[in-house]
Amino acid sequence: MSKRDKLIARFLSRPKDFTYAELITVMGNYGFKEEQGAGSRAWFVNDAGIVFNLHRPHGKKPLKDYQIRDARTALKNAGQI
Protein backbone atom coordinates (compact mmCIF):
# COMPACT_ATOMS: atom_id res chain seq x y z
CA MET A 1 0.00 0.00 0.00
CA SER A 2 1.46 3.39 -1.01
CA LYS A 3 1.70 6.47 1.23
CA ARG A 4 -1.18 7.98 -0.71
CA ASP A 5 -3.38 4.93 -0.16
CA LYS A 6 -2.51 4.86 3.54
CA LEU A 7 -3.40 8.53 3.93
CA ILE A 8 -6.72 8.06 2.14
CA ALA A 9 -7.53 5.00 4.28
CA ARG A 10 -6.69 7.03 7.39
CA PHE A 11 -8.94 9.87 6.19
CA LEU A 12 -11.83 7.49 5.53
CA SER A 13 -11.52 6.06 9.06
CA ARG A 14 -12.25 9.58 10.46
CA PRO A 15 -9.39 9.76 12.97
CA LYS A 16 -9.48 12.31 15.79
CA ASP A 17 -5.99 13.62 14.96
CA PHE A 18 -6.30 14.31 11.22
CA THR A 19 -4.55 17.59 10.36
CA TYR A 20 -5.35 20.33 7.88
CA ALA A 21 -2.10 19.63 6.03
CA GLU A 22 -3.21 16.01 5.56
CA LEU A 23 -6.59 17.22 4.29
CA ILE A 24 -4.88 19.44 1.69
CA THR A 25 -3.01 16.36 0.44
CA VAL A 26 -6.12 14.16 0.32
CA MET A 27 -8.21 16.78 -1.46
CA GLY A 28 -5.36 17.43 -3.91
CA ASN A 29 -5.20 13.72 -4.71
CA TYR A 30 -8.81 13.99 -5.90
CA GLY A 31 -8.33 17.12 -8.00
CA PHE A 32 -9.40 19.77 -5.51
CA LYS A 33 -7.32 22.93 -5.21
CA GLU A 34 -7.12 25.00 -2.04
CA GLU A 35 -8.03 28.67 -2.26
CA GLN A 36 -7.81 31.22 0.52
CA GLY A 37 -10.97 32.82 1.76
CA ALA A 38 -11.32 35.74 4.13
CA GLY A 39 -9.51 35.25 7.42
CA SER A 40 -9.36 31.59 8.35
CA ARG A 41 -11.77 30.42 5.66
CA ALA A 42 -10.48 28.03 3.02
CA TRP A 43 -12.12 26.73 -0.13
CA PHE A 44 -11.44 23.55 -2.06
CA VAL A 45 -12.63 23.66 -5.66
CA ASN A 46 -12.38 21.01 -8.39
CA ASP A 47 -12.65 21.36 -12.16
CA ALA A 48 -16.32 20.32 -12.11
CA GLY A 49 -17.13 23.33 -9.90
CA ILE A 50 -17.78 21.41 -6.70
CA VAL A 51 -16.85 23.63 -3.76
CA PHE A 52 -16.10 22.60 -0.20
CA ASN A 53 -15.30 25.25 2.41
CA LEU A 54 -14.21 25.15 6.01
CA HIS A 55 -12.56 27.14 8.76
CA ARG A 56 -8.85 26.33 8.96
CA PRO A 57 -7.82 25.29 12.47
CA HIS A 58 -5.33 27.58 14.16
CA GLY A 59 -1.83 26.26 14.71
CA LYS A 60 -1.44 22.53 14.44
CA LYS A 61 -4.81 21.63 15.94
CA PRO A 62 -6.54 18.63 14.36
CA LEU A 63 -9.69 18.95 12.28
CA LYS A 64 -13.02 18.55 13.98
CA ASP A 65 -15.16 15.52 13.18
CA TYR A 66 -17.75 17.54 11.26
CA GLN A 67 -14.99 18.99 9.03
CA ILE A 68 -13.79 15.51 8.06
CA ARG A 69 -17.40 14.42 7.50
CA ASP A 70 -18.05 17.45 5.28
CA ALA A 71 -14.88 16.78 3.26
CA ARG A 72 -15.97 13.17 2.73
CA THR A 73 -19.40 14.39 1.57
CA ALA A 74 -17.75 16.74 -0.94
CA LEU A 75 -15.65 13.86 -2.30
CA LYS A 76 -18.75 11.65 -2.56
CA ASN A 77 -20.63 14.40 -4.40
CA ALA A 78 -17.72 14.65 -6.81
CA GLY A 79 -17.90 10.88 -7.40
CA GLN A 80 -14.39 10.34 -6.05
CA ILE A 81 -15.11 7.97 -3.15
Q: What is the CA radius of gyration of the chain?
A: 12
Please write the tens of the pLDDT for every residue from 20-47: 999 999 999 999 999 988 889 999 999 8
Total domain count, the chain: 1
Task: Dump the DSSP string for 27-80.
Answer: HHHTT-EEEE-STTEEEEE-TT--EEEEEPPSTTPPPPHHHHHHHHHHHHHTT-
pLDDT of residue 55: 93
Please write the tens of the pLDDT for every residue from 47-81: 888 888 999 998 889 999 999 999 999 999 888 88
**CATH number of the structural domain spanning residue 7:** 3.30.920.30
Collapsed DSSP state (helix, strand, coil) of residue 1? coil
Whole domain around residue 24: which residue ranges? 3-77
CA dist., res. 68 & res. 1, Å (int): 22
